[in-house]
Amino acid sequence: MIILLDTSTPTCRLAFAENEEVTHQFEWESGRTLAKELLGYIHDKLHSVSKSWNDISGIVMFRGPGSFTGLRIGITVVNTFADSESIPIVGVMGEHWQADGLGRLKRGDNDQLVLPEYGGEANITTPRK
């Protein structure tokens, strides 16, 4: 099974695909709880379709543009999982990101490390102290 994840907005979008076809889609208003609850959310949705982490054979990650924090958190989680389990991962952009990502995985692509595209310079404030 392939995981497709988009954390570029406060609405986290998660989908599962098998044989290049999206079989399940979920949305979650994560707000400020993304870092704390993302792994649990994925785990719960895997369980809801009678799957486990061991069933994941690839990951497609929407890499932006979007929220600095949302992209950073989501991409860090999937990069870490893909690396630790030696699972191929691809990062994609655009309106048809799911189909593009599934196509890349089918061709055997593996970015090994997805980098975010924020759509502009990150707005990092200077420390107050």
Report residues of the chain scoring pLDDT below 70: 122-124
- C-alpha span between 21 and 1 (Å, rounded): 10
Specify the pTM: 0.90
- Which residues are CB-neighbours of 48 under 8 A, at least 6 positions away? none
Strand partners, 2: 17, 58
Phi, psi of 25 (to 5 degrees): -135, 140
What is the residue whose two structure tokens read 């988009």? 6
Domain ranges of the chain: 2-106
- C-alpha span between 72 and 57 (Å, rounded): 22
Class of domain 2-106: alpha beta
Can you give the pLDDT at residue 122? 63
Strand partners, 90: 60
